Amino acid sequence: MTENAALAFSRVGHAFLGRSLFEDFDLAIGRGEAVALLGPSGSGKTTLLQIAAGIVEPVKGRVSRGYRRQAVVFQEPRLLPWMTLTDNIAYGLAARGEKKVGRRETAERLAIAVGLEGTDFAKYPAELSGGMRQRANVARALAVDPDMLFLDEPFSATDVGLRRHLQDLLIAAAREKGFSVLLVTHDLAEAVRVADRIVVLSGRTGHIATSRALSGRPGERSERTIFEQVEAWSHDPVFGELFSAKERLR
C-alpha cells in the first residue's frame, strides 16, 4: 500500500523540549481514504499532522507525499482580518494565479455550500460569528480542490448542528472529488462517522495502540451503529487512554 499511498510515514520520530513524542511511526493513507487519528492529550496527534503537511520537520524518518495539492483546516479559522469573506475563501486561488472572476464565483459557490449567505460575502472576519468563520475556513480549504485534506480538530468548538453539517459537507466532497483525508480528533464518535479507518496513538509509549478499519461508508453509518461501535470500544482496554478521566473532561 505504501508505494501507491497518497501519504506515507516511514519510521518518523519527533521530540519536543527534549521529550520524545513518538518513535518509528509508520502509517500509509491510501488515495481517497479517510483516516482519523486519535489519542490522549500530548500524544503527538497535531504534531504528526503538521509533519504530514510539511509545517514541521521531523527529527528523523521520512514522509512521502503522492499528491499534488493539499489544504489544511485548523481548529482556529485563521482568516486574514483585512480581507472580506469571499477574498479569504479565494485566497489560495489567488496564490495560484486564477482570474478574479473565477475566484469570486468559486468562493461564492462554496460560501453558499457551507451555509453562508450572500449578505455575508462582503463582511470582514470581525463581523462574522465563530461558526461563520469556521464555515469560511472549510470553504477556503475546499476551494483549492485538494488531493489531500488535513483537518486538525476543526469542529471541536462548533455546536452540534454545525458540526454535523460540516461533517456531511466534507464527506460528500471527499466522495465526489476522491481526495484523501487525515483528521485529528478527540471525538471517537466523529471518527467513526467520517473515517474509513481509525488510528489510535498511545500517550504512554508513543506508538500506535491500534488501527481499525470501519465497515460501511463514511456518512452512511446510522447513529445507532456509531453509538454501538463507540460503546463497544469504550470497554476495550486498547482504547483505555481515550476514555481516561482526564480525556472525558475535554
Determine, yes or no, domain membership for 115.
yes
Classify residue 116: in a domain, yes or no. yes
Q: What share of the chain is helix, strand, coil (3-state, %, to 5)?
A: 40, 25, 35
Residue ranges making up the domain that contains 41 = 30-56+149-250
What pLDDT digit, counting tens, does each position of 18-33 carry?
A: 677 788 899 999 999 9
pLDDT for the residue 157 = 73
Last residue of a domain, one of 105, 121, 145: 145
Residue 124 shares a structural domain with residue 34: no
Whether 129 and 179 share a structural domain: no
Residue 140 placed within a domain? yes
pLDDT in tens, 162-195: 888 889 999 999 999 999 999 999 899 999 999 9
Instruction: Read off φ and ψ for residue 33, nearest 5 degrees.
Output: -95, 145
Grid cell, residue 185, equals 480528533
Mean predicted confidence (pLDDT) in 44-68? 92
Is 2 contained in some domain? no
Out of 145, 166, 197, pick the residue that ends a domain: 145
**Structural domain count of the chain:** 2
Answer for the pair 127, 183: CB distance below 8 angstroms, yes or no.
no
CA distance 168 to 190: 11
Residue 159: which CATH number? 3.40.50.300
Q: Are residues 42 and 92 part of one domain?
A: no
Average pLDDT over residues 1-8: 79
Residues 154 and 247 in one domain: yes
Pair 159, 242 in one domain:
yes
Among 96, 112, 145, where does a domain finish? 145
- Between CA 48 and CA 56, with CA 50 as vertex, the angle to 5 degrees is 105
Same domain, 138 and 155: no
Task: Quick: pLDDT tens for 94-140.
Answer: 777 778 888 899 999 999 999 999 999 999 999 999 889 999 999 99
Cα Rg, the chain, nearest whole Å: 18
Q: Are residues 35 and 83 in the same domain?
A: no
Helix runs in the chain, H state only:
45-52, 85-89, 91-95, 100-113, 130-143, 160-177, 188-194, 223-234, 245-248
